[in-house]
Amino acid sequence: MLSGRRLDLLDPSPLDIEIEDIAHGLARVARWNGQTSGDHIFSVAQHSLLVERLAREASHDLDRAWRLAVLLHDAPEYVIGDMISPLKAMIGGGYKPVEERLLAAISLRFGLPPKWPTALHKITKAADRAAAYLEATRLAGFSHTEAQKFFGRAPGLDADVEASYLSPWSAQEAKQKFLARFEEIVR
């Protein structure tokens, strides 16, 4: 990692995880395999911020820990990249344990339980699907009918979210915004 940490993918230690490495990596990992409109990639860092925002809107009583967990839901991708769902399905079970070990180590590093409660998974998944719907229709060329088939119904969206989160940012901007939101949550 740029921090100088060496992360063992088979046995990741929370002590080898730094938020700056996560933000840097996620800001440079493209969602949708880079097949989005705009001058910049739509990064996993930007996606993570969108998911956290949608989760807050849907569940106004999310406590600090759960907001942090939602923000970090795709954090393992700073090391292993973002693999599109059809490819994950083709690969099968080998990918998931690596991702789960990384998320457990990341969770421990930031004071979260290594295994998230079912309710947190549900909130995160709902916000993740809503974000995927928005990204698919606003950035990746999906029709609303097509997106609904894959991601469910269209989420309600205020103009602020559309303007603030669905225009791809530069990697530096995505990194800075991810780190700023992290700091807001952990303060």
Question: Is the pLDDT higher at 40 or at 96?
Answer: 40
Those residues with Cβ within 8 angstroms of residue 110's Cβ, 6 or more apart along the chain or in another chain: 19, 68, 72, 186
* Digit-coded pLDDT (tens) for 40-71: 999 999 999 999 999 999 998 899 999 999 99
Quote the CA–CA distance of 25 and 152 in Å, as a whole number: 29
Q: Is the pTM of this model over 0.85?
A: yes
CB atoms within 10 A of CB 93: 7
Predicted pLDDT of residue 65: 97
Those residues with Cβ within 8 angstroms of residue 161's Cβ, 6 or more apart along the chain or in another chain: 50, 53, 54, 57
Quote the CA–CA distance of 102 and 11 in Å, as a whole number: 8
pLDDT surpasses 90 at 89: no
Predicted pLDDT of residue 83: 82
Predicted pLDDT of residue 161: 77
pLDDT surpasses 80 at 109: yes
CB 75 within 8 A of CB 14: no
pLDDT surpasses 80 at 105: yes
* Digit-coded pLDDT (tens) for 175-186: 999 999 999 999
Q: Locate tokens 């393992």: which residue? A: 76
Predicted pLDDT of residue 60: 86
* Digit-coded pLDDT (tens) for 110-168: 999 999 999 999 999 999 999 999 999 999 999 999 999 999 988 877 777 777 899 99
Can you give 38-103 as a three-state secondary structure string? CCCCCEHHHHHHHHHHHHHHHCCCCCHHHHHHHHCCCCCHHHHCCCCHHHHHHHCCCHHHHHHHHH
Coil, strand or helix at 30: strand
Query: What torsion do the CA atoms of 6, 8, 9, 10 make, to the nearest 10 degrees?
Result: 180
